[in-house]
Amino acid sequence: MQLPVMHDETRVTTLGRDPQRHHGIVNPPVYHASTILFPNLAAYDAPRTRDGYYYGRYGTPTTRALAEAVAGIEGGDFSLIVGSGKTAITTVLLGLTKAGDHILVTDSAYQPTRGFANGVLRRFGVETTYYDPRIGAGIAELIRPNTRLVFTESPGSLTFEVQDIPAIAEAAHAEGVPVVMDNTWAAGLYFKPFEHGVDVSIQAATKYIVGHSDVMMGTITATEALRAPIQDASNELAGAPGPDDCYLALRGLRTMATRLAQHQASGIQLAEWLEARPEVEAVLHPALPSHPDHALWRRDFSGSSGLFAFRLGAVSRTALAAMLDHLELFGMGASWGGYESLLIPTAPGKIRTAVPWPYEGQMLRIHVGLEHPDDLIRDLDAGFARLNAAS
Ligand SMILES: *Cc1c(COP(=O)(O)O)cnc(C)c1O
């Protein structure tokens, strides 16, 4: 369904569905499939696809509906749907490299991205250099003849540096090197990767697309020029998601623009409240004027989601436990992007290698969910009171 002018609110509600093809039913049906039957030998022999389908592992109309919607929202030429955000990352990294190659990865990347580079990629003869997320055009100096991609993530996981993606893309493209971006934070809505020079955009759909903390899923969106190696790697790695999960992701997508607007508003309200707390040394939220990359964020992003970080001074584990253990609304656990709020301690100092993390204080990562922000503030306020009493 292609409309001439579409806002994102319209894209998320219309793309990837065609009720008139399904008896007028609003949502696309869920196709469960392994075997796909061919009517005769000629059809089986020939290009061996049936409307583009030939075996469940390579996708069904349900997978394709989701892929079509995601490609339209991110603005890429095509999308692939895989079983998790991490699978999206590993598929792209394996698809674009071979033994003897070199890749550049931002020091602020999601930690499991580093895990794959330092483990499987290294074993298979691919070398990784981590670079300062704020390197911008300086990335040119790190590009070697065998560099096959620049991996970016903006804002960075845990530390929220905003990267100068256009400057990185210009420098990388001058050497014929594609730019890959983990675009999970902006959910394909608040940052348009292909308008800023990105060649491959990855999302953990597990987060905002699914939006309800009940499905693992990843998306890979790319330009036509990179379709063959990425599609090939995805076929070989064969991590196809199930149709029910694709259906849930499509259902989540329909409300994503509306949910994200609320995550944004509540997130900023909590960030400002936290910034005024005496216990808080810094709030790392790109939409705050105090953020070092605020100007860059304003230039390239059209909004902010509900995930950010803040830093306390040195606190004992006991005092931290007093704060975190008795929160009523904030849960403690991995992932984010659901309707519920989360608060976890993090330790970027243990992860970074290119730019050592210079702060001693306790870092916390917060996901602001869809509860009323006043209730969330009350919960945090009581948490700070317990922290202070235990310090
Ligand atoms: C969660 C996350 C991933 C991985 O997604 P999964 O679906 O959990 O595998 C990748 N990148 C970022 C930035 C994430 O937060």
CATH architecture of 8-254: 3-Layer(aba) Sandwich (3.40)
Query: Hey, what long-range contacts does 229-236 have (CB within 8 A, 24 or more apart)?
Result: 229/95, 229/96, 230/80, 230/91, 230/92, 230/95, 230/96, 230/200, 231/80, 232/95, 233/91, 233/92, 233/94, 233/95, 233/96, 234/80, 234/82, 234/91, 234/95, 235/58
From 82, 93, 108, 110, mutation site for ligand 1 pocket: most ligand atoms within 8 A of C-beta? 110
The tens-digit pLDDT sequence of the chain (391 residues) is: 454 568 999 999 999 999 999 999 999 999 999 999 999 998 888 876 777 888 999 999 999 999 999 999 999 999 999 999 999 999 999 999 999 999 999 999 999 999 999 999 999 999 999 999 999 999 999 999 999 999 999 999 999 999 999 999 999 999 999 999 999 999 999 999 999 999 999 999 999 999 999 999 999 999 999 999 999 999 999 989 999 999 999 999 999 999 999 999 999 999 999 999 999 999 999 999 999 999 999 999 999 999 999 999 999 999 999 999 999 999 999 999 999 999 999 999 999 999 999 999 999 999 999 999 999 999 999 999 999 999 9
Ligand 1 atom, smallest distance to 335 CA:
1
Domain ranges of the chain: 8-254, 256-390
Q: Is the CB of 152 under 6 A from ligand 1?
A: no
Q: Is the CB of 157 under 6 A from ligand 1?
A: yes
Q: Is the CB of 84 under 6 A from ligand 1?
A: yes
Q: Is the CB of 154 under 6 A from ligand 1?
A: no
Q: Which residues fall within 8 angstroms of residue 282, CB to CB, at 6 or more apart?
A: 290, 310, 311
Residues taking part in catalysis: 57, 110, 182, 207
Q: Is the CB of 184 under 6 A from ligand 1?
A: yes
List helix spans (H) across the chain.
Answer: 8-14, 41-45, 61-74, 85-95, 111-116, 122-123, 165-174, 227-237, 243-254, 256-275, 294-300, 317-324, 373-390
Is the pTM higher than 0.95? The answer reads yes
CA of 162 to the centre of ligand 1 (A): 18
Helix (H, G, I), strand (E, B) or coil at 213: coil
Q: Is the CB of 352 under 6 A from ligand 1?
A: no
CA of 336 to the centre of ligand 1 (A): 9
CATH architecture of 256-390: Alpha-Beta Complex (3.90)
CA of 342 to the centre of ligand 1 (A): 15
